[in-house]
Amino acid sequence: MALGQEGLNRDQTQLLWRAGSCPPQSFSELLGASLLLMLKTYLSEDVFQHAIVLYLHNHSYASIHSDDLWDSFNEVSNKTLDVRKMMKTWTLQKGFPLVTVQRKGKELLVQQERFSLNTKPEIQPSDASSLWHIPLSYVTDEGNYSKYRSVSLLDKKSVVINLTEEVKWIKVNTDMTGYYIVHYADNNWEALIKQLKINPYVLSDKDRANLINNIFELAGLGKVPLQRAFDLIDYLRNETSTAPITEALFQTELIYNLEELGHMDLASRLVNKVFKLLQSQIQQQTWTDEGSPSVRELRSALLDFACTHRLENCSTAAMKLFNDWVASNGTQSLPTDVMTTVFKVGAKTEKGWSFLFSKYVSIGSEAEKNKILEALASSEDARKLYWLMKSSLNGDTIRTQKLSFIIRTVGRHFPGHLLAWDFVKENWSKLVQKFHLGSYTIQSIVAGSTHLFSTKAHLSEVQAFFENQSEATFRLRCVQEALEVIQLNIQWVEKNLETLTFWL
């Protein structure tokens, strides 16, 4: 799903993407696709396709409005549902909902409220008028996905849903088709965790990934103990599917890259914990392009994780492939899925980095150049990273258009983000000369160089720096969002550092 960090206080059309991820245009498209997927799940695929065909037929040579699409759905559903009214609750208000579910015998008490990453009352947006029409799908331990998946419409602040029988657990937002986060207010989290440990495959891979996503988001807010989130992913020892594993890697990476954890040994201890959970899956990976797209995606993610943190014999295997590639003067074919990982390992050596840079300058393939550039910007040598950013800023051997990508890559891990931020401060006047203040490039640079800060000292530093520029600079949306992200990181550390220290 495209939830990202939309829990920040902003309009629906002005979204902050995950640092280092897709730009706003792509995010908005992903948001629209997510809402349509939710609508299709609610109406059924047949009704959805019929409405789309009708819409295209009626408006193929005419100017259109978003209401025209919703009206097509109304017509196909015989006006039993006001799709226009329903979808406006998603497109014309800020944020997205948090759905809280509580089981009481055969009854489900379901409530909705605005999801907000901020927990401080003084910066909480008003929730009084927030109401979404939410297609609520769910599955229980008594049903299966092909025969039993219920869908209800939650169009009030709270409703009671009657079940046909008492159940051990319920999973809401089936297959992650809804644009909302779910919290279980009773022992349902424990029941789901128990089910995952006994037999995770009762739930679909999308649902398992969705549970991982939701519980870590909720743990960050303090609604769920962080210990419970780690209890849930303990089942990963038996996980074989791509979506849950990559979601777990993403969520834990957000934690161990935080600046505050980097100054301690907590980051490395967390990495080792995750490695122990996934060690078997990592050992099963091959350095090839074989398998389905899902298998190949999993291979790429696991080997990149292992090599980045020098786990197992990953770096040894990658370095052998890299040395063979160098010996062939770059003519030997490397498996596409692991090419970036191989380049990253090779870039850790002086000779390897220099050879990669020479290839970056000489090759014509843009796709391969991007993989090489990511590897170059993942070096642990501060001098090389600074030179890389400076070279791109000057437009010498690396195009200036690549600068935001380089800064985001350098700033993706601790302590590279410190260097990225220092570079941005030192060269801010040149940056705003080359890219205007409201550009996507400036947004990306600001977010990519500050998103890992998690101390009050760095919050004050970032705020003071932009305040000392111009008022227009300080009021930039990307600057305000960067400050809010740092505040959220501080909030996460304050709520969870003690638990994390104990668990590790």
- pLDDT tens-digit map of 98-157: 999 999 989 999 999 999 887 665 555 556 678 999 999 999 998 765 544 678 899 999
Query: Sorting pLDDT into bands at 50, 70 and 90, what band is 473?
Result: very high
pLDDT, residue 14, reads 29
Q: Which residue has the higher pLDDT, 386 or 258?
A: 386
pLDDT, residue 8, reads 52
Contact of 407 with 434, CB cutoff 8 Å: no
471, pLDDT greater than 60:
yes
Q: Which residues of 65-92 are buried (b: 16+ CB within 10 A; e: fewer)?
A: eeeebbbbbbebbeeebebeebbeebee
Taking the C-alpha atoms of residue 151 and residue 134, their distance in angstroms, rounded to an integer, is: 10
The secondary structure of 34-62 as a DSSP string is: HHHHHHHHHH-HHHHHHHHHHHHHHTTTS
pLDDT, residue 120, reads 62
Contact of 306 with 275, CB cutoff 8 Å: yes
pLDDT, residue 424, reads 98
User: Is 427 exposed, middle or buried (CB count within 10 Å of its CB: 0-12, 13-18, 19+)?
Assistant: middle
> CATH for 97-247?
2.60.40.1910
Taking Cα atoms as reference points, which of 11, 10, 33, 36 lies closest to residue 22?
Answer: 33
Radius of gyration for the chain, computed over Cα atoms and rounded to the nearest angstrom: 24
Query: Looking at the DSSP assignment, which residues form a beta bridge with residue 152?
Result: 136
Lowest mean pLDDT among 80-84, 259-263, 304-308, 366-370: 259-263
pLDDT, residue 252, reads 94
Q: What global pTM score does this model have?
A: 0.90
23 CB neighbour count, 10 Å cutoff: 13
Taking the C-alpha atoms of residue 280 and residue 275, their distance in angstroms, rounded to an integer, is: 9
334, pLDDT greater than 50:
yes
- pLDDT tens-digit map of 455-470: 999 999 999 999 999 9
Cis peptide bond N-terminal to 415, omega within 30: yes
| Tokens representing residue 399 in the block | 């195009």
3-state helix, strand, coil in the chain (%, to 5): 60, 10, 30
412, pLDDT greater than 50:
yes
Query: Sorting pLDDT into bands at 50, 70 and 90, what band is 29?
Result: low
85, pLDDT greater than 50:
yes
- pLDDT tens-digit map of 159-176: 999 988 899 999 999 999
pLDDT, residue 440, reads 93
Please give the single-letter amino acid code of residue 314: C
pLDDT, residue 125, reads 56
Query: Sorting pLDDT into bands at 50, 70 and 90, what band is 12?
Result: very low
Report domain extents, the chain: 24-91, 97-247, 397-504
Cis peptide bond N-terminal to 121, omega within 30: no
| CA–CA–CA angle 383, 384, 390 (5° rounding) | 90
Helix H or strand E segment including 111: strand 107-114
50, pLDDT greater than 80:
yes
pLDDT, residue 366, reads 93
Contact of 388 with 376, CB cutoff 8 Å: yes
Using CA atoms, how far residue 404 sits from 88, 356, 373, 374, in Å, is 35, 20, 12, 12
pLDDT, residue 63, reads 79
Average pLDDT in the 307-332 region? 94
Contact of 357 with 392, CB cutoff 8 Å: no
Taking the C-alpha atoms of residue 36 and residue 55, their distance in angstroms, rounded to an integer, is: 14
Helix H or strand E segment including 104: strand 97-104
What is the Cα 502 distance to its own chain's centre? 26
Q: What percent of the chain has pLDDT over 70?
A: 90
Taking Cα atoms as reference points, which of 110, 87, 85, 77 lies closest to residue 35?
Answer: 87
pLDDT, residue 65, reads 82
Average pLDDT in the 345-367 region? 95
